[in-house]
Every structure is written in C-alpha cells, then in structure tokens.
Amino acid sequence: QPHIPLPELALVALVGASSSGKSTFAARHFGPHEVLSSDHFRALVSGSEHTLDANAAAFDSLFYVAAKRLERGLLTVIDATSVRPDDRRRLVDLARAHDVLPVAIVLDLPRGLLEARHEARGDRPFSAAVVGRQQTELRRTLRGMGKEGFRHVWTLRSPEEVEAAWVTRVP
Ligand code: GTP
Ligand code: MG
C-alpha cells in the first residue's frame, strides 16, 4: 500500500480537497518541472493564485503545457483538486490522446483534519465549508474512479499513510 510504483511515462493526477496536501506531496516526490499546479497557472494568467474567474484560462494553459510535455514523453503531475469526475475525465482524455498512462494518487483525508488545516493556514480565500464539500464530492465519487479510465488509483487515507508513501518509477 505505501509503495506507489509509477509507470515511467504517466500523467499523474494528484486528487484531493484543498488542504489535503497535494502540493506538499508533489514537492516531496516529484521534480519542480514535473508538477503543473492549477494555482500556479492561475497566478501566471491573472497575477494571483486566487482569481477564481481565471479558472478557464488557467486550465487551458495548464493543459496546453501538459500536452507539450507528454508529446516529449515526460512524466507530468497535475496538482489540482480534481474531486469531480468531469475534471478527472479531462485528464484521462489528455493522457489517452498522447498514449500515456493516466494514474491517480488520491489524498482522501478526514474532513475534520482538512478543515483544521484550512483554518491553520489561512491563505485560502474560501471557507472551511468549501473544503468540506470538496471532500464530500471526492468520497461520493471515489468508488467509481477505477472505471474512469485510470490505469491505477492509489488512495492514501490518513496522514500516516501519506507520510509512509514512497514513489518509484517502473519502466
Ligand atoms: P490546495 O493547494 O489549497 O488545493 O491545498 P493542497 O492540497 O496543495 O495542500 P498543501 O500541500 O498546500 O497543504 C495544506 C496544509 O497542510 C499546509 O499547511 C501543509 O503544511 C499541511 N500539510 C500538507 N501535508 C501534510 C502532511 O503530510 N502532514 C502534516 N502534518 N501537514 C501537512
Ligand atoms: Mg496546493
């Protein structure tokens, strides 16, 4: 369970509510240029990570860059909440269009923990209730994720499991 053997050429979706630790996990296990974060692209196109009406432009740009990387055969990690099936479908379609394996690493943490982390960081312009709703949406749709087209779905369900996880690349 703690071992995540990633295909060397994969599109890796980090899936989880805000404050679930996606960006922390990405920084720990992947190189800086391997990770495309929706917050970063929102900042690039609008000047701030938090411009919510910049979502469309941010994701267009993120997908454009992801496609360029996949064309080159570069493993690419998508750091965005992706708690909704429609959001994940776009990622699966992108991977398929480039003959790359779509895989998902899901950070499925208790709602209370997410809300506590959210309050503690205080740098997100939305309420803890929003984070709770993201987690509820993830839980509601998690069981069906295997059928969404991901080749593997690894689910980490506690901070201990997240801490213990180690990622390798298999040819
Ligand atoms: P968004 O970018 O808002 O979607 O959140 P995120 O999923 O990227 O979460 P992020 O990695 O920014 O972590 C959120 C908060 O939780 C930060 O304050 C982190 O320091 C903390 N955090 C993340 N991962 C861990 C962890 O494994 N253990 C502990 N104790 N704290 C963590
Ligand atoms: Mg983040």
Per-residue pLDDT of 114-141, as tens digits, reads: 999 999 998 999 999 999 999 999 999 9
Nearest CA to ligand 1 atom 3: 18
Span 29-57, average pLDDT = 96
Q: How far apart are CA 83 and CA 38, in angstroms?
A: 13
Q: Is 18 in the pocket of ligand 1 (CB under 6 A)?
A: yes
Instruction: Name the residue with higher pLDDT: 52 or 7.
Output: 7
Q: Is 149 in the pocket of ligand 1 (CB under 6 A)?
A: no
- Closest Cα to atom 18, ligand 1: which residue? 121
pLDDT for 121? 96
Identify the band that residue 2 occupies on the pLDDT scale cut at 50, 70 and 90.
confident
Percent of the chain at pLDDT above 90? 96
Angstrom distance (rounded) from CA 28 to CA 26: 5
Which amino acid appears at position 156 of this protein?
L
